Amino acid sequence: MKDIASLFDLTGKVALVTGGSRGLGLEMVRAFAMAGADVVITSRKREACEAAVHEVEAMGRRAIAHACHVGHWDEIPTLVDAAYDAFGKIDILVNNAGMSPLAPSLVEISEELFDKVIGVNLKGPFRLASLVGTRMVADGGGVIINVSSTGADRPTPRTTPYCSAKAGLNVLTIALAQEYGPTVRVNTLSPGPFLTDVAKHWPADRQGRRENAAGRNGRAEEIVTAVLYLASPASTYTTGAMLRVDGGFP
Greatest Cα-to-Cα distance within the chain, rounded to the nearest angstrom? 56
Which sign does the torsion angle of CA 67, 163, 235, 174 carry?
negative
Cis peptide before 125 (omega within 30 of 0): no
CB 78 within 8 A of CB 70: no
Out of 21, 43, 148, 190, the active site residue is 148
Q: What angle do CA 221, 95, 229 make, to 5 degrees?
A: 50
Out of 21, 123, 166, 232, the active site residue is 166
Q: Determine whether 162 is an active site residue.
A: yes
Q: Quickly count: other Cβ atoms within 10 Å of residue 1's Cβ.
A: 4
Out of 43, 123, 149, 162, the active site residue is 162
Listed in sequence order, the residues at least 6 apart from 137 whose beta carbon sits closer than 8 Å to its beta carbon are 180, 183, 184
Q: Determine whether 123 is an active site residue.
A: no
CA torsion, points 77, 79, 84, 86, in degrees to nearest 10? 150
Comparing CA positions, the residue from 151, 28, 13, 11 lying closest to residue 95 is 28
Query: Residue 15: what are its φ and ψ, rounded to 5°?
Result: -115, 135
Q: Determine whether 164 is an active site residue.
A: no
Listed in sequence order, the residues at least 6 apart from 229 whose beta carbon sits closer than 8 Å to its beta carbon are 8, 235, 238, 243
| Active site members | 148, 162, 166
